[in-house]
Amino acid sequence: MSTPEELEQRFTLLTAAARYDHLRLRDALAPPTDDPDDETEPDPDARPLSREEALELLALGEVIMRKASYGRQLTVRTARATGASWTQIGAALATSKQSAWETHSRWLGEQETATGTRLHSDGEGS
C-alpha cells in the first residue's frame, strides 16, 4: 500500500499532481461496475481503479496538500521579506491577517522542532 510518507519521497508536487489527475480522471470516467448485463468493451483509459490505485489516489491527495502547504509557507516568508503586510498576505490567502500570521508562526515552530534550529520569526506587524 502506498503511504503519503513513501509517495512524498517519490514525487515532486508537479509529478504527484499529474499522477493524481490521471487517476482521478480515470476514476471519474470509469463505467459503473455493478451492471452485470453491460457487455460493452471498456475503454482502457476509463477502467475502474484497483484497490491499490484508489488508496494511492487518497495518499497522493495528502502528499499534494503537504507539499503545497510547505510551498505556501515558504512563499509567505518571501512575501514578508519583500515587505508585504500581514493584511496583504491574509487577503492573498483569503483569510484574516491574524490567521495568516498564526498559521505561519505555527509552521515556523514545527520547522524549528524538526530541525532543531531557531528560525527568524517576525512579529504580527502591519
Tell me the pLDDT tens digit for each residue of 70-119: 899 999 999 999 999 999 999 999 999 999 999 999 988 988 888 888 76
Closest among 25, 112, 4, 3 to 67, alpha carbons compared: 4
Task: Identify which has the larger pLDDT, 99 or 122.
Answer: 99
pLDDT of residue 90: 97
Cβ burial 57-71 (10 Å sphere, 16+ → b, else e):
bebbeebbebbeeee
**What is d(CA 47, CA 19) in angstroms, rounded to the nearest whole number?**
16
pTM (two decimals):
0.70
- At 15 the three-state DSSP class reads helix
Tally Cβ neighbours within 10 Å of residue 104: 21
Residues 6+ apart with CB under 8 A from 60: 2, 7, 11, 16, 19, 20, 23
Nearest of 69, 71, 64 to residue 17 by alpha carbon: 64
Length reported for the chain: 126
pLDDT at 118: 75
How many helices (H) and strands (E) in the chain? 5, 0
Would you say residue 1 has pLDDT above 60? yes
pLDDT tens digit string along 7-53?
999 999 999 999 999 999 999 998 876 555 666 666 666 789 999 99
